[in-house]
């Protein structure tokens, strides 16, 4: 595999030579979490987040512009044009990520670029999604069936796991054949589901739309329950995350796949892939599934402990799943920052017709990158502690509000130490 293809397949490449002191990294992370937990327990005795009831309304003219049919049509056309351009590059362009911008468009501009786009602008993929545009052009079903309530966003979790496998475990993730196959599967399943259930299907099953919508919960730009466009605290957006079936699975896929990305370029793991009797693809697949399963098992143990401590908590799995979203965001920033700021410009230059486009130099020194990665992981976990605490004082009796968080606090420590361990392993 060529160097750019390897880069696309494994995030930011090697991070194991970063000038990072294990002692100071672990000690700083633990101190930040412990101080946050202690301060919240002493100073935060009642719930302060109001979910989708919160927010300062933006000017009415701005809302009219955002909701105008012309604006939404323009965004649909932009998304459709971008999707068509990627498809044409895959069909007609060279099978070489050095000269074809399509792999970078999928793995960098779409997958990584949705992170800052959703944080700044909200659930943008819902408006750009080419599959929604394509579905709108097809004959509408006479009586679309409602999406089953129990299905939730489980199909999207499966789609995200498939994409993670494509990126991290497939034998040739940057090849045009691989990408065309994935996009064909995504298109066929999306359109068949929408033909049966209408456009609401995409909000449950499209992996990129669900991914963007979950990240947008941390955006300062959002909508109140009455539909008004508002500026809000990201904590209010996080608090309004629906406790839908599949939420835990989706977040565990995001956390576990990003954790496996951190393992995948470890020299010892690379040696394991090369020498495994099962072959590199199957071994990588099992490693990816094991990482996702480990994240899920730890969270399930935490939820089970919460249920034993407070019998009145009827939905421990989904009640605190929203607190994992900032952690997933911290992992995404830590693992993909360098990839985005170097490969995104290179992909755009290739799409514009530049031959032999080279990626710009990383904007941070190794020391600066190490500090950013640790800060992103620790900040994500601190935000998760705050979100979990607010939900805890709402759900638990006052006498148990702090004690009830101890399993979650232990889980946050485990995730934090694991995330930092991946950076310095």
DSSP state letter for 311: T
Of the candidates 293, 301, 319, 323, the one whose C-alpha atom is nearest the C-alpha of residue 407 is 301
Per-residue pLDDT of 374-398, as tens digits, reads 888 888 888 988 898 888 888 877 7
Stretches in the chain below the pLDDT threshold 70 = 1-21, 23-24, 141, 399, 401, 404, 424-425
H helical segments located in 3-140? 3-9, 22-43, 60-67, 69-92, 102-104, 114-121, 125-128, 130-137
If you count them, how many residues does the chain have? Answer: 425
pTM of structure: 0.90
Q: Are the C-beta atoms of residues 334 and 352 closer than 8 Å to each other?
A: no
Per-residue confidence (pLDDT) for residue 20, from 0 to 100: 62
- What strands, in cross-sheet order, belong to the sheet with 56-57? 56-57, 229-231, 221-223
Q: Is 146 helix (H, G, I), strand (E, B) or coil?
A: coil
- pLDDT, residue 222, reads 93
Residues 6+ apart with CB under 8 A from 82: 105, 128, 130
What is the spatial distance between Cα 179 and Cα 362, in angstroms, rounded to a whole number?
27
| Local structure of 338: helix, strand or coil | helix
The H-assigned helical ranges of 105-224 are 114-121, 125-128, 130-137, 154-168, 176-197, 200-205, 207-215
Distance CA 218, CA 241 (A): 10
Q: Is the dihedral of CA 149, 153, 154, 155 positive or negative?
A: positive
CA 335 from centre of chain: 12
CA distance linking residue 163 with residue 201, whole number of Å: 19
**Alpha-helix residue ranges (DSSP H) falling in 320-400:** 325-351, 366-395
Phi, psi of 230 (to 5 degrees): -140, 160
DSSP state string for 10-45: TTT---TTS---HHHHHHHHHHHHHHHHHHHHHH--
User: Residue 416's closest CA among 100, 28, 7, 38?
Assistant: 28
Q: What are the residues facing 223 on neighbouring strands?
A: 229
What is residue 43's predicted lDDT score, i.e. its pLDDT?
74
Within a 10 A sphere around the Cβ of 266, how many other Cβ atoms? 15
Q: Which helix (H) or strand (E) holds 411?
A: helix 406-424
């Amino acid at each position: 595999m060529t160097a750019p293809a390897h880069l696309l397949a494994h995030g930011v490449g090697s991070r194991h030579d970063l000038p990072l002191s294990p002692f100071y990294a672990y000690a700083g992370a633990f101190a930040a979490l412990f101080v946050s937990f202690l301060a919240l327990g002493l100073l935060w005795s009642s719930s302060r987040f109001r979910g989708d009831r919160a927010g300062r309304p933006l000017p009415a003219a701005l809302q009219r512009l955002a909701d105008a049919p012309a604006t939404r049509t323009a965004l649909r056309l932009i998304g459709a044009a971008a999707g068509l351009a990627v498809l044409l590059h895959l069909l007609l362009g060279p099978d070489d990520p050095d000269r074809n911008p399509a792999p970078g468009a999928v793995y960098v501009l779409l997958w990584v670029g949705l992170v800052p786009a959703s944080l700044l602008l909200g659930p943008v993929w819902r408006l750009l999604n080419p599959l929604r545009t394509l579905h709108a052009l097809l004959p509408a079903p006479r009586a679309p069936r409602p999406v089953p309530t129990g299905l939730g966003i489980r199909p999207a979790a499966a789609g995200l796991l498939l994409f993670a496998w494509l990126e991290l475990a497939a034998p040739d993730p940057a090849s045009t054949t691989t990408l065309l196959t994935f996009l064909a599967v995504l298109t066929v399943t999306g359109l068949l589901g929408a033909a049966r259930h209408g456009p609401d299907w995409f909000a449950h099953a499209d992996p990129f739309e669900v991914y963007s919508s979950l990240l947008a919960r941390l955006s300062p730009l959002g909508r109140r329950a009455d539909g008004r466009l508002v500026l809000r605290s990201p904590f209010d957006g996080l608090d309004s995350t629906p406790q839908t079936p599949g939420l835990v699975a989706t977040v565990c896929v995001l956390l576990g796949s990003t954790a496996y990305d951190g393992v995948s370029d470890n020299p010892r793991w690379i040696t394991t892939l090369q020498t495994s009797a099962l072959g590199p693809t199957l071994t990588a697949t099992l490693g990816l599934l094991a990482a996702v399963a480990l994240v899920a098992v730890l969270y399930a143990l935490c939820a089970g402990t919460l249920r034993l401590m407070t019998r009145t908590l009827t939905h421990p799995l989904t009640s605190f799943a929203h607190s994992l979203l900032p952690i997933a965001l911290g992992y995404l920033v830590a693992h993909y920052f360098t990839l985005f700021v170097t490969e995104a410009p290179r992909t755009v230059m290739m799409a514009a017709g530049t031959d032999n486009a080279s990626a710009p130099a990383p904007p941070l020194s190794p020391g600066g990158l190490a500090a950013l990665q640790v800060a992103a992981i620790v900040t994500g976990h601190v935000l998760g502690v705050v979100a979990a605490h607010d939900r805890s004082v709402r759900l638990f009796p006052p006498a148990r509000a702090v004690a009830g968080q101890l399993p979650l606090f232990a889980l946050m420590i485990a995730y934090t130490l694991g995330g930092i361990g991946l950076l310095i392993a």
